[in-house]
Chains A and B, each alone.
Chain A
């Protein structure tokens, strides 16, 4: 079955450490997105990509980086510059930009 796979499901980060969240889709979707969800604040867009080797900053890109070397993959790195990274991270994809998204199951990141 087609879908989006996020890994790991839970991730713990030490202070000053970079961590990478994986997102892989086999839906043949062109567009991919990363959102962060905090309690009571809804979904906030971190980065998005419409095509391989191209991506744009979202509303809260500071402290994050991404790459899009393959159509299927859109990993997110949470750098040490992100001072409050504890959150639920959601990867999504859509066939075309602006279509309804399909979400992955999410990664819950906690700073320890």
Chain B
């Protein structure tokens, strides 16, 4: 079992819709969770971090964490074509480094 799992996609949504990206992790001791956005050919950019159960909102982005289910998600409201990218989930399992999922490719069509 991979430590951090994401559906590779692509996830296709129309402009203005809500995009829901999901991530599961295997280590129950994981402390902190991050979402990165990576445009094709570019480096990842940190867009959200979440440390406790529940929701965290920042603009059009909402991160949701459920430690009991070992599940973290990212919601993007009012999706725009510029949101088309690969979204990487990263988890701090307590060993001084982050473990990354392989990413979900999001396509937002005009």
Interface residues of A, Cβ cutoff 8 Å to B:
31, 33, 35, 40-43, 45, 48, 50, 56, 58, 90, 97-106
B97-A42 in contact (CB<8A): no
B94-A103 in contact (CB<8A): no
Question: What are 25 A-B pairs at a CB distance below 8 A?
Answer: A31-B96, A33-B97, A42-B88, A42-B103, A45-B97, A48-B96, A90-B43, A97-B97, A98-B31, A98-B32, A98-B92, A98-B94, A98-B97, A99-B32, A100-B32, A100-B34, A100-B46, A100-B49, A100-B98, A101-B98, A102-B46, A103-B43, A103-B45, A106-B42, A106-B43
**Chain B residues within 8 Å of A103, by CB:** 43-45
Interface residues of B, Cβ cutoff 8 Å to A:
8, 31-32, 34, 42-46, 49, 88, 90, 92, 94, 96-98, 100-103
B102-A40 in contact (CB<8A): yes
| Nearest A residue to B48, CB-CB | A100
Number of A-B residue pairs, CB cutoff 8 Å, is 52
With both chains docked as a complex, state the minimum distance between the C-beta of B48 and any C-beta of chain A, in angstroms.
Answer: 9
| Nearest A residue to B6, CB-CB | A42
B102-A58 in contact (CB<8A): no
With both chains docked as a complex, state the minimum distance between the C-beta of A36 and any C-beta of chain B, in angstroms.
Answer: 12
| Nearest A residue to B34, CB-CB | A100
B100-A98 in contact (CB<8A): no
Give CA–CA (A58, B34) in the complex, Å: 20
| A90 and B34 contact, Cβ closer than 8 Å, known pairs A48-B96, A97-B96, A98-B92 | no
The 3 A-B residue pairs with the shortest CB-CB distance, nearest first, are: A42-B102, A97-B96, A98-B92
| Nearest B residue to A91, CB-CB | B43
A41-B98 in contact (CB<8A): no
**Chain B residues within 8 Å of A42, by CB:** 88, 100-103
| Nearest A residue to B101, CB-CB | A42
With both chains docked as a complex, state the minimum distance between the C-beta of B87 and any C-beta of chain A, in angstroms.
Answer: 12
A41-B44 in contact (CB<8A): no
Give CA–CA (A35, B31) in the complex, Å: 21
